[in-house]
């Protein structure tokens, strides 16, 4: 039997960290992830774990220290959000290219500017091509479960890549929910001990970390990283199956909610999926065939699997909580459309931007998206193929139109 508890998302992730008891945690505080190093340092000071906590002067230093500790053979984690991740940018690439299985507890927050401390996915989506595995949570239970699985994925001999476990700032990180924790001994047995094959402090196998790579070697290094990312797909599924055996909770690349017979679907990431599920339940009660594909794993991107799951639908709305600034939608939209095209799907796909800077996303708006898709297909109505949800309007114009005019 699991342990029933009421925890915020930050508390849930911190509790998973406590159960794993990693070797080293360098960290620098930033809203809304500050509570994670705060909780972990409290566990350390109380003698509940023996993790070495390193207070550093910046997020760049936090990731630099994480890289050094991981290269030395330690199991390492850190936590950050938003501009903190932006300050880590250079080191994110270094961690991935050196194949260091660092875990990063990322609490998603909008990037400046303008300055905003609320949730969107611009931080993690900006880092989508750094070579890190990315796994997202809808709720506090998933945030806990994902972190318990993180090291098993990242440290696998066929992967050895850093991993981001992402949750939505304030919406999950600070909201308290009922969740079920695993017993400490189960978590420890599941995660296991970290025994790296190669590390700096091994005198029997001298090695260099982060050397200069000339042109004849650099490209092969990147290819090897990509092969590891491809390997991660099967490892993620294998670890999820093992986790289901001890928890009863099954995970995959994504969740299909009433999608099997849906004519119209929404695809999205994160906490807003719960709002969409509420809208779907109401529309199903009216006889509407609508569904949801909630993406859990963004890197490696399960494009073929997503496209096949959507190919029976007439139209899908792809909702991004970050702007790609490609004048055509966000990053999730671009990748899904590519794979729908690759398999020759007839499904129409429309791009939406929602929830930037913590903007509310409601069941009314989710319902409106489904209605737009239906009108486009059934009535032949022309709708914008790239649009924002929930923009404020002042005098018939959006607030942004007025600002631009000023």
Report the distance separating Cα 393 and Cα 189, nearest Å: 55
Q: What angle do CA 242, 49, 185 make, to 5 degrees?
A: 30
Stated pTM of the model:
0.96
Options 3.40.50.970, 1.10.3210.10, 3.40.50.300, 3.50.50.60; CATH for 3-247 is: 3.40.50.970
Report the pLDDT value the prediction gives residue 404, as an integer from 0 to 100: 43
Report the distance separating Cα 192 and Cα 153, nearest Å: 12
User: What is the fold, at CATH topology level, of the domain defined by 254-405?
Assistant: Rossmann fold (3.40.50)
Report the distance separating Cα 133 and Cα 155, nearest Å: 12
Report the pLDDT value the prediction gives residue 396, as an integer from 0 to 100: 64
Report the distance separating Cα 383 and Cα 372, nearest Å: 7
Report the pLDDT value the prediction gives residue 164, as an integer from 0 to 100: 98
**Dihedral over Cα of 235, 241, 243, 245: its sign:** negative
Long-range contacts from 240-248, C-beta under 8 angstroms, 24+ separation:
240/149, 242/152, 242/190, 243/145, 243/148, 243/149, 243/190, 246/182, 246/186, 246/190, 247/2, 247/145, 247/180, 247/182
Return the residue matching tokens 């993406």.
Answer: 295
Residue 23 has which token pair?
Answer: 């070797």
Q: What is the pLDDT along the chain (406 residues), one digit of tens a residue?
A: 689 999 999 999 999 999 999 999 999 999 999 999 999 999 999 999 999 999 999 999 999 999 999 999 999 999 999 999 999 999 999 999 999 999 999 999 999 989 999 999 999 999 999 999 999 999 999 999 999 999 999 999 999 999 999 999 999 999 999 999 999 999 999 999 999 989 998 999 998 888 899 999 999 999 999 999 999 999 999 999 999 999 999 999 999 999 999 999 999 999 999 999 999 999 999 999 999 999 999 999 999 999 999 999 999 999 999 999 999 999 999 999 999 999 999 999 999 999 999 999 999 999 999 999 999 999 999 999 999 999 988 766 665 454 444 3
How far, in Å, are 182, 382, 399, 402 from residue 406 at the CA level? 56, 32, 11, 6
Show me where the domains of the chain are located. Answer: 3-247, 254-405
Report the pLDDT value the prediction gives residue 210, as an integer from 0 to 100: 85
Report the pLDDT value the prediction gives residue 401, as an integer from 0 to 100: 53
Closest CA to 399 of 109, 112, 108, 114: 114
Report the pLDDT value the prediction gives residue 402, as an integer from 0 to 100: 43
């Amino acid at each position: 039997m699991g342990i029933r508890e009421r925890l915020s998302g930050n508390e849930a992730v911190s509790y998973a960290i406590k159960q794993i008891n990693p070797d080293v945690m360098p960290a620098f505080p930033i809203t809304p992830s500050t509570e994670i190093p705060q909780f972990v340092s409290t566990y350390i000071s109380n003698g509940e774990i023996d993790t070495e906590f390193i207070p550093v002067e910046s997020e760049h230093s936090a990731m630099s220290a994480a890289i050094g500790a991981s290269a030395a053979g330690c199991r390492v984690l850190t936590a950050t959000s938003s501009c903190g991740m932006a300050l880590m940018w250079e080191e994110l690439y270094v961690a991935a290219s050196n194949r260091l299985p660092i875990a990063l507890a990322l609490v998603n927050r909008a990037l400046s500017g303008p300055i905003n401390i609320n949730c969107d996915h611009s931080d993690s989506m900006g880092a989508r091509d750094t070579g890190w595995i990315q796994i997202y949570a809808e709720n506090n239970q998933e945030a806990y479960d994902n972190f318990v699985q993180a090291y098993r994925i990242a440290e696998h001999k066929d992967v050895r890549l850093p991993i981001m476990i992402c949750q939505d700032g304030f919406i999950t990180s600070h909201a308290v929910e009922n969740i079920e924790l695993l017993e400490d001994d189960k978590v420890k047995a599941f995660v296991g001990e970290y025994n790296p094959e190669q590390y700096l402090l091994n005198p029997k196998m001298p090695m260099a970390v982060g050397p200069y790579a000339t042109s004849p070697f650099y490209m092969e290094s990147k290819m090897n990283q990509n092969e590891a990312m491809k390997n991660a797909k099967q490892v993620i599924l294998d670890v999820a199956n093992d986790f289901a055996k001890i928890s009863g909770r099954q995970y995959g690349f994504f969740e299909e909610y009433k999608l099997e017979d849906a004519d119209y679907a929404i695809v999205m990431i994160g906490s807003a999926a719960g709002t969409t599920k509420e809208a779907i339940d109401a529309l199903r009660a009216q006889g509407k065939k609508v569904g949801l594909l909630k993406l859990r794993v963004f890197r490696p991107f399960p494009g073929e699997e997503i496209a096949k799951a959507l190919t029976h639908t007439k139209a899908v709305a792809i909702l991004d909580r970050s702007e790609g600034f490609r004048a055509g939608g966000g990053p999730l939209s671009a990748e899904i459309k590519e794979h729908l095209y690759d398999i020759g799907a007839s499904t129409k796909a429309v791009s939406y931007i929602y929830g930037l800077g913590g903007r509310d996303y409601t069941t009314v708006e989710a319902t409106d998206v489904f209605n737009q898709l239906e009108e486009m297909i059934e009535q032949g109505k022309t709708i914008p193929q790239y649009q924002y949800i929930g923009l404020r309007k002042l005098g018939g114009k959006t607030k942004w139109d007025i600002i631009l005019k000023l």
